[in-house]
Structure 1
Amino acid sequence: MQIGVIHYTNIHISDSSTMLKGRLQFHQELLHFDLLDSDTLTEDEIRTHHGRILQSIQKEDYLLPIHSGIDLTHFFMLEYQLPITLHDTGSLYLPLQKKGNALYDQTKEIASPFCMDQTTSTSEATVHAIQCFFFSHASTTHTYSELLEAAGTMFTHVHGGTFKIELL
């Protein structure tokens, strides 16, 4: 499994715009009907936090808006059909390292397709963050770098700042 990391600097997270909230809600409603029409999720999909979110959407238990950083990350997860997490780098002990399918800082696991560390979560006070994309071997819709560039561009369009991508 490849892990893509987008490093964001000098961002401004705030309450989500009406447009972002609307797009997230609309996307969830569309997914709900797609999930009703398809076979149930596989055991492997349900084990990931992304799969658990899809399972909730299938039951019409939709994601509620939190703030622009998390809401856009949720939108990316639904759009790209990948586990994606967002972390405040102020809560991390850098450098990061990949071990198996997980990402660690110098003290603990911070993200994997199966869970994420809530102690590194973002808030409206977050200025620097990382966004982790967990690419399964079946992810072929876009090249990983193109997908990360597109996500980083959209994220910084909403939040300002700059970004750089890294594949682990």
Structure 2
Amino acid sequence: MQIGVIHYTNIHISDSSTMLKGRLQFHQELLHFDLLDSDTLTEDEIRTHHGRILQSIQKEDYLLPIHSGIDLTHFFMLEYQLPITLHDTGSLYLPLHKKGNALYDQTKEIASPFCMDQTTSTSEATVHAIQCFFFSHASTTHTYSELLEAAGTMFTHVHGGTFKIELL
């Protein structure tokens, strides 16, 4: 499994705009009908936090807005069909390293396709963050880089700041 990390600096997280809230809600409603028309999610999919979100959407238990950082991360998860997490780097002990399918700081596991450390959650006070993308399906590094660049560009368009990508 390849893990893509986007490092964000000098961002400003706030309450989500009406447009972001609307797009997230609309995307969930469309996905709900797609999931109703498709077969049930596989056991492997349900084990991931992304799969559990899809299972909730299938039951019309939609994600509620939290703040712009989390809401845009949820939008990316639904759009790209990948487990994606967002973490406040002020809560991390850098540098990060990959072990198996998980991402660790110097003290603990912070994210995997199956869980996310709640002690590193972002808030409206977050200024520096990382966003972790867990690529499980076959693709090329070039495609991963393009997806990370597109996500980073959209995230900084909403939150300001700068970003750099890293593949682990």
1:140 to partner: Cα distance? 6.6
1:141 to partner: Cα distance? 11
- Cα 1:139/1:66, change in 2 over 3 Å: farther
Partner deviation per Cα, 1:109-155 (whole Å, 9 max, x = no partner): 00000000000000000000000000013357980000000000000
- Cα 1:127/1:144, change in 2 over 3 Å: same
Distance 1:140 1:93 in 2: 30
TM-score normalised by L of structure 1:
0.98
Tell me the secondary structure at the aligned position of residue 133 of structure 2. Answer: strand
- Cα 1:91/1:131, change in 2 over 3 Å: same
Distance 2:131 2:141 in 1: 19
Tell me the secondary structure at the aligned position of residue 103 of structure 1. Answer: strand
TM-score normalised by L of structure 2:
0.98
Q: How does 1:16-165 map to 2 (within 5 A)?
A: 16-139=16-139, 143-165=143-165
Partner deviation per Cα, 1:16-75 (whole Å, 9 max, x = no partner): 000000000000000000000000000000000000000000000000000000000000
- Cα 1:38/1:61, change in 2 over 3 Å: same
Identity of aligned residues (%): 99
Give the number of equivalent residue pairs. Answer: 168
Moved more, 59-68 or 141-150: 141-150
- Cα 1:30/1:66, change in 2 over 3 Å: same
List structure 1 runs of 4+ shifted beyond 6 angstroms. none
Tell me the secondary structure at the aligned position of residue 147 of structure 2. Answer: helix
- Cα 1:141/1:93, change in 2 over 3 Å: closer
Distance 1:11 1:119 in 2: 19
- Cα 1:114/1:139, change in 2 over 3 Å: farther
Distance 1:10 1:117 in 2: 22
Distance 2:6 2:49 in 1: 19
Distance 1:140 1:88 in 2: 28
Q: Which runs of 5+ in 2 are unaligned?
A: none
Partner deviation per Cα, 1:4-24 (whole Å, 9 max, x = no partner): 000000000000000000000
Distance 1:101 1:95 in 2: 17
Distance 2:147 2:136 in 1: 14
Distance 1:76 1:52 in 2: 15
Q: Which runs of 5+ in 1 are unaligned?
A: none
Asked whether 1:167 is paired with 2:156, we answer no
Tell me the secondary structure at the aligned position of residue 143 of structure 1. Answer: helix
RMSD: 1.3
